Chain A
Amino acid sequence: MTTATRDTVVMRAGAIHAGYPGVPVLHGVSIEVAAGEMLAIVGPNGAGKSTLLKVLGGSIKPAAGSVEVLGRPLDSIDRREFARTVASVGQENAVAFRFTVLEIVLMGRAPHLGAFRFESPHDLEIASAALERFDLRELAARHVQELSGGERKRVFLARALAQEPKIALLDEPTAFLDLKHVAEIFARFRELRTERGMAVVATLHDLNAAALYADRVLLLANGAAVAYGAPAEVLTAENLQRVYETDVYVGRNPSTGALIVLPAALPNARA
Chain B
Amino acid sequence: MATRCRQVNAPASKSTPEAHLTRAALLSILGALTILLVVCAIAGLLFGTAHISLTRAFSDPDSPDHAIFFAARLPRVLMGVIVGAMLAAVGTALQALVRNPLAEGGILGISGGGALGAILALVMSAKLGGGEALVPLCAFGAALLSTVAVYRLAMVDGQLEPFTLLLVGVIFNAFWGAAIMLVNSVVNFYYAHSILFWLMGSLEAPTYREAAMVAGLGLAGFAVLMYRARDLNLLSLGDESAAELGVDVDRLRRTIFIATSVMIGAAVSVSGIISFVGLIVPHTLRLMFGADHRLLLPASLVGGAAFMVAADLIARVAIAPAEIPVGAITALCGGPFFIYMLRREGRRSFSL
Contacts and interface: CB of A to CB of B under 8 A. Distances in A.
Interface string B227-257: 1111001101110110111111000000000
Interface of B: 6-10, 12, 14-16, 18-23, 96, 99-101, 157, 227-230, 233-234, 236-238, 240-241, 243-248, 286-287, 290-292, 348-349, 351-352
Interface string A96-115: 11111111101110110101
Interface in A43-69: 54, 57-59
Interface in A85-125: 86-88, 90, 92, 94-104, 106-108, 110-111, 113, 115-116, 118-119, 121, 124-125
Contact of A110 (B12, B19, B245): B245
A119 B349 CA distance: 26
11 contacts: A80-B246, A83-B244, A88-B240, A90-B241, A94-B352, A97-B96, A98-B290, A99-B233, A100-B19, A125-B15, A138-B12
A98 B352 contact: no
Contact of A96 (B99, B228, B246): B99
Chain B binding surface, main DSSP class: loop
B290 A103 contact: yes
Contacts of B233: 99, 103, 107, 110
A53 to B, nearest CB: 11
B287 A98 contact: yes
Given A142-B8, A163-B245, A97 B19 contact: no
A118 B15 CA distance: 15
A95 B351 CA distance: 8
Contact of B23 (A92, A118, A124): A118
Interface string A116-154: 101101001101100000000111111101100000000
A104 B237 contact: yes
Contact of B234 (A107, A119, A142): A107
A183 B20 CA distance: 30
A82 interface: yes
A257 interface: no
A111 B246 contact: yes
A138 B9 contact: yes
A94 B245 contact: no
Nearest to B292: A103
Given A113-B230, A115-B230, A145-B348, A96 B9 contact: no
A45 B287 CA distance: 40
Contacts of A128: 14-15
Contacts of B292: 99, 103
Contacts of A80: 246
Given A99-B292, A127-B15, 18 more contacts: A80-B246, A97-B236, A97-B291, A99-B233, A99-B290, A102-B19, A103-B20, A104-B237, A107-B234, A110-B230, A110-B234, A115-B228, A115-B229, A128-B15, A137-B12, A141-B18, A141-B19, A146-B348
A203 B287 CA distance: 37
A74 B352 CA distance: 31
A94 B8 contact: no
Contacts of A84: 246
Contacts of B241: 88, 90
A95 B246 contact: no
A129 B20 CA distance: 16
A128 B10 CA distance: 13
Contacts of B20: 100, 102-103, 106, 119, 124
A115 B244 contact: no
Nearest to A137: B12
A54 B240 CA distance: 9
Contact of B157 (A21, A97, A99): A21
A97 B16 contact: no
A88 B236 contact: no
A242 interface: no
Contacts of A163: 245
A203 B352 CA distance: 25
A138 B10 contact: yes
Nearest to A104: B237
A111 B227 CA distance: 15
Question: B12, B22, B286, B291: which has the most chain A beta carbons within 10 Å?
Answer: B291
A113 B231 CA distance: 11
Nearest to A169: B244
B155 to A, nearest CB: 14
Contacts of B238: 90, 92, 94
Nearest to B99: A96
A137 to B, nearest CB: 6
Contact of B246 (A57, A59, A82, A106): A82
